[in-house]
Amino acid sequence: MTDVRNAPMLEVTNLTKRFGGLVAVKNLSFSIRPGEILGLIGPNGSGKSTAMKSIIGVERPSAGSVKLDGEELAGLPSHRIARKGVGLVFQHSRPLARQTVLENIKVALLPDKLTRVFADKDVDGKARAIAGRVGLSGVLDRKPPTLAFADLRRLELAKAIARHPKLVLVDEPFAGLTASEVADFSDLIREFRDEGCAVLLVDHNVKSVSALVDRVLAMYLGEWIAEGTAAEVMQNETVRRVYLGGALVSTARPESSFSDKSPALQVENVGVTYGKALALQDVSLHVHEGEFVSLVGLNGAGKTTLFNAISGLVPHTGEIKWAGAPLRGGTPAQIARSGIVQCPETRELFGDMNVRENLDLGGNALDDKERTERLEWMFDLFPILKARQTQLSRTLSGGEQQMLAIARALMMKPKLLILDEPTLGLAPVILETLSKALDRLRETSDITVLLGEQNVTFALPHADRVYVLDHAKIVWEGPPDRFEAEAAEHYL
Amino acid sequence: MRALPSSRLFWIGLAAFLVAMALPLYVSGYVLGLLTVAYYTAVFAMSWDLLFGFAGEVNFGPTFLIGVGAYTAGILDAQFSPGISVYLCIVAGAFAAVVGGVVLALPALRVSGPYFGLTTLVAVLMLQNFVIVAASLTGGEIGLAVPDVLSIDATTNYWIAFVFMAVSGAILYGLSVSPIGLILQASGQDKVQAGALGFNVTKHKLAAFIVSAFFSGLAGALMVFYMGTASVGTFIDVAVAVQIIIAAVIGGRRTVIGAAIGAIFLIGMGELLRPLGELATLIVSVIALAVILFFPDGFVGMLRGGAKA
């Protein structure tokens, strides 16, 4: 008996997924036994989501095998895989808005048949039972748009339960939930385990899933880097290096060295909600003129939201002051002209324009002489762009695109440059080039930089001061050299 | 509480049904003829709504399906009459529309986003050009004269169109609220999630396309034998497609019934305002724009909204 129990339910062997030249998942192997919860963690771009999508068949694996109870799943379309017993609890749900909660659960109970014009009679009872199990009984007749965020997540869980999965994949189980909701959800996920399901939790760090998991597998740049209990993985050297960076050569300038009395940028008690999800809660930070500040946080912590609030792109509560004056009420264009330029995570280049045209657009407001000087300076900072002037920007490599995005932002002569995850998806060798450019920027100009990063290795060396953002809140502030000792627990 | 809007809709529907039944006793043959066209257009619009409102696919080429059905039926009759039954031509028209629909949908459903719509639009233009080029078969730009008609009696034609609309509407509406309709909506909203719940999204969307094509083609073929002629301007032109889409949207998308209301409204308004000449088109367009801007859920949305408040 115990042998059967210990035979793995899910067995992933040498799973590889390539997108063109990019290898998102490389030779990943792991297994989950029935009644076991495995946490699959890795920073943004580590390939964990791609690995999950390859298991459920949303992405077709390039190579390798995914076996459920000995049966090969790799290469099947996702609906076939789902019917073999794999359930997925989505992070972002788009339930049927015009149907009630009960009807939404019923959808998941329907067979994949075109001949079934009438639903089976027992569907209603089953749907109610499932709703009771996940705690939706009180809102059965409401429509999803009127539900609280946690209830929407419960609905996702209910739909997964309805398919009686043998293997349950949960994407970021606790994102956007309050502490008591996290406890409820943990219990619901444990029920899967107690029923003998294999459970895979996908999340950014060990901390968020440590209370729940039996084992953790950490990924970085598409590869397996560590596996073991939550405590073991947290102590693992490679994991610590990936999340916390190695030995740090800090060149931070102390805060007292900035001469301005009141900081150039003051963010005071800012809060942002997206519909029902809390994206920022009571966030306060400040940046002095000429200072380089890094805002460190994992994907989903709220970095981009904060930047968008500063740039006037999302409504917020609280106060944001720039050079002493409140920004509230300004349009994004006015805020950008006042000297705050954001270089977004998504880069937003004009793909069908060449490098030079992108840069000229950035320097559109400057007169000819100034623009020429600025261009010279930019080509000095990023020599590769000079050679690529006539190339269409969408044909550039990821690293070159990022440099162009930064260069275009700098063409606007910003006083404050907001860089949102410049390292996203870039190879280590490119990071070095970017790193050098930032160093030169710091040494040769009086620009102020607010850098949002989850890559600590990149964020810390450039920072005079560091803030850690975790689950919509600032949880730590300090100089980079104290980060590992004091803030690592928020991060691993 | 929840039964109220639907019951109110039901009573309004019943009243409309009774009025439509009584109409032939009171109005002129001209008005009946107008309503006959409106009813066929209503079926076009309802078929379109099944694809857009439920499967989430914007088909810019409803007239491709309609045109294939209409011209297949018309050409068969023109070539073989009197050796062929009109009803056989109509069935052949519906069948041809389904085949055309599958041929169009298989490649079109592989692409996503705006490309599906573009593919369907291109199909309309191709069909239009084919009709014009193959003039010896199709009558080209002048139009195809069909030797047979369903009936020369306006009241009979009215009844055929009305019953056809009522039956098609019932089937399409029934389908939209059935489990298949739910799965279609789920697929239209989030196909990754629908797949993860074990539903074959392509299969369901293809089925919706086939049903939509069947009713579009059938309505097109019936309308040919009502009018006695088929022309590009009435069955295929992109302007016709636009009218069908506007009808479905102002009537209330994702309701099926709303599409029928919208179609009858558009044709009726066009006629009422006809004395104003070109201005009529402008007025109808402004009304359509206002409805889309202020009542995105269309006429049916207004009725439901009123019931809730």
Positions of chain A with pLDDT under 50: 1-4
The domain of B192 spans: 29-237
The verdict on residue B21 lying in a domain is no
- Chain A: residue whose CA lies nearest to B178: A117
| CB atoms inside a 10 Å sphere around CB A268 | 14
Tally of CB atoms within 10 A around B112: 10
Q: Is beta strand A215-220 parallel, antiparallel or unpaired with respect to A37-41?
A: parallel
**Dist. CA A84–CA A112, nearest whole Å:** 13
Most confident of A439-443, B34-38, B144-148: B34-38
**B100: in domain:** yes
Q: What's the angle, vertex CA A83, arms to CA A81 and CA A87, rounded to 5?
A: 75
Q: Is residue B152 part of a domain?
A: yes
Nearest CA in chain A to B175: A117
Angle formed at CA A191 by CA A186 and CA A194, multiple of 5 degrees: 125
Residue of A nearest to B2 (CA): A141
Of A79, A87, A107, the CB nearest to B200: A79
In the DSSP assignment, the letter for residue B52 is I
Residue B254 lies in a domain: no
B210 interfacial to chain A (CB closer than 8 Å)? no
Which tokens belong to B290? 């206002």
Q: Looking at CA atoms only, how far is residue B59 from chain A in angstroms?
A: 21
Task: Collect all residues with Cβ–Cβ distance below 8 Å to B153 and sequence separation of at least 6.
Answer: none
**In DSSP terms, which residues pair with A342 in a beta bridge?**
A418
User: What gap in Å lies between CA A179 and CA B232, rounded to an integer?
Assistant: 64
User: Using the 8-state DSSP alphabet, how is residue A490 labeled?
Assistant: G
In a domain, B14, yes or no: no
- Tokens of residue B174, six digits: 């029934």
Q: Would you state the pLDDT for residue A49?
A: 85
In a domain, B132, yes or no: yes
Mean pLDDT for B279-292 is 85
Please, which residues have CB within 8 angstroms of residue B218's CB and are 6 or more apart in sequence?
B43, B69, B90, B93, B94, B97, B164, B168
Task: Give the sign of the dihedral formed by CA A390, CA A393, CA A399, CA A405.
Answer: positive
Q: Measuring CA to CA, which residue among B121, B126, B136, B13 is closest to residue B57?
A: B121
Residue B69 domain flag: yes
Provide the shortest C-alpha distance from residue B204 to chain A (in Å).
7
Beta strands in A90-235 (DSSP E): 167-171, 198-203, 215-220, 223-228
Selecting from B2, B178, B196 the residue whose C-beta is nearest the C-beta of A88 gives B196
User: What pTM was computed for the model?
Assistant: 0.74
- The reported pLDDT for the residue numbered B309 is 33
Q: Could you report the predicted ipTM of this complex, rounded to two decimals?
A: 0.78
Local structure of B245: helix, strand or coil: helix
Nearest residue to A220 via CA among A398, A38, A59, A51 = A51
Q: Do A82 and B201 touch (CB under 8 A)?
A: no
| Per-residue pLDDT tens digits for B69-124 | 999 999 999 999 888 899 999 999 999 999 999 998 888 777 766 788 888 899 99
Taking only the tens place, the pLDDT of each residue in B195-217 is 888 899 888 989 999 999 999 99
Give me the number of domains chain B comprises.
Answer: 1
Chain B positions in Cβ-Cβ contact with residue A120 (cut-off 8 Å): none
* pLDDT tens-digit readout, A262-320: 888 999 999 988 877 788 889 999 999 889 999 988 777 888 899 999 998 888 999 99
Is B117 within a domain? Answer: yes
Identify whether B24 is preceded by a cis peptide bond (ω within 30 of 0). Answer: no
Contact A83 B198 (CB under 8 A): yes
d(CA B230, CA B140): 10
Q: Distance between CA atoms of B207 and A454, rounded to whole angstroms? A: 46
What residue ranges define each of the domains in chain A, with the CATH number in brackets? 2-244 (3.40.50.300), 255-490 (3.40.50.300)
